A = this chain, B = another copy of it.
Amino acid sequence: MPTDDSTKTLRTTATSIEILKQLEAIDGARVSEIAERMDKPKSTIHGHLATLKQEQFVIKEGDFYFIGPELLRLGNQVRTREPAFVLARQFTERLFEETRLRSIFTVEMGGKAVFLHTASGSKMGWSHEQLGNRLFLHNTAVGKAILAELPEPRIEQIIDRWGLPQETENTTTDREALFEELERVREQGYAVNRAENFNELYAIGVAATRRSGDVIGGFSVTGPAHSVTGEDRKAELAHTVKDIVSEFELELALA
C-alpha cells in the first residue's frame, strides 16, 4: 500500500527532484534530453538546472549536466549522523575479510532496510554499490533480524505501512508466519534469507543493539545460493556474523 500524498506538495521542488532522478537514470544529460523526457520546455529545465548548479547539486561539463558533489556530501551525512554508523564501516570490512562474502551494514529507516556500508571483493560481478537503496524488511536477512528486535507495535506499524509483498515464491507473505519466524530469529540470534527477495540468493543477518536494547542496525553476509551450501558452512557463517556483531556492540559500549 503506497503512502498518502493527499497533502499539497510543492511542484517546483518536485520537478527539481525529478530532474535529479533523470540525471541519475541516464548518466548525465543535456538540457534538451531531459526536457524531452519530462515533456517540459527547455527553458524550464534550464532554470532548474541553473539553480541546482549554483548549489552544486549538479555540475556542468560542457553541455552535459551530472549529479554534483554537494549531493554526495549531504547524502553521506546519513552515514555519519550517528557515531555507531561510522564505527560500523570497519566492522563491515572485517566481516568481509573473514567470510569473503559480500558484507553489508544496514539500518532501518522509515520501515525499510537501507544499506549504509558494503564490502566486497574485487571480482564480484554484481557488486554495484547500492548505498541508500531501500529494501523490504520482511524478506531480507538483516531486515528480519532488525524486525525481531523491534517492539511489537512498531512491527505492526511497519507491516501496515508496507505490507508483505511477495517478491519470490519463498517470500513470507503471511503475518502469522512472519511473527513465528521472528520468534525463531530471536531464539537463534540470527536471521536467514533463502531466496526470499531475489532468486538464487542466500544471506545471513544479525541485528546490533545498544545496551538500552534498541536497535542500531544489522550486519549481513550474502552469496549465491549454490555457493553457500552445507549446514556446517552455514552454521559457521552465522557464528562469524554473530561474533562480529558482539565485538561491534562491545566496542560501541566502551566508546
A8 within 8 Å of B (CB atoms): yes
A131 within 8 Å of B (CB atoms): yes
Give the docked Cα–Cα distance between A120 and B107 (Å).
22
Contact status B76-A131, CB under 8 Å: yes
Whole-angstrom distance from the CB of A167 to the nearest CB of chain B?
19
8 Å CB contact of A78 from B72, B93, B110: B72
Known: A16-B10, A109-B59, A129-B86. A71 touches B67 (CB 8 A): no
Residue of B nearest to A66 (CB): B81
Q: How many copies does the complex hold?
A: 2
A28 within 8 Å of B (CB atoms): yes
Select the residue from A16, A17, A75 with max chain B CB neighbours within 10 A. Answer: A75
One of A48-56, A138-146, A191-199, A219-227 at the interface: A48-56
A63 within 8 Å of B (CB atoms): no
One of A19-27, A208-216, A235-243 at the interface: A19-27
A7 within 8 Å of B (CB atoms): yes
Contact status A72-B79, CB under 8 Å: yes
Chain B neighbourhood of A79, CB < 8 A: 72, 129
The contact size tier of chain A is: 35 or more
Contact status B80-A128, CB under 8 Å: yes
Residue of B nearest to A16 (CB): B13
Residue of B nearest to A112 (CB): B69
8 Å CB contact of A55 from B14, B69, B72: B14
Give the docked Cα–Cα distance between A192 and B72 (Å).
27
Contact status B131-A54, CB under 8 Å: no
Chain B neighbourhood of A170, CB < 8 A: none
Give the docked Cα–Cα distance between A52 and B17 (Å).
9
15 contacts between A and B (CB under 8 A): A12-B12, A13-B13, A17-B57, A67-B75, A68-B78, A68-B109, A69-B110, A69-B112, A71-B132, A72-B78, A73-B130, A73-B131, A73-B134, A75-B132, A76-B132
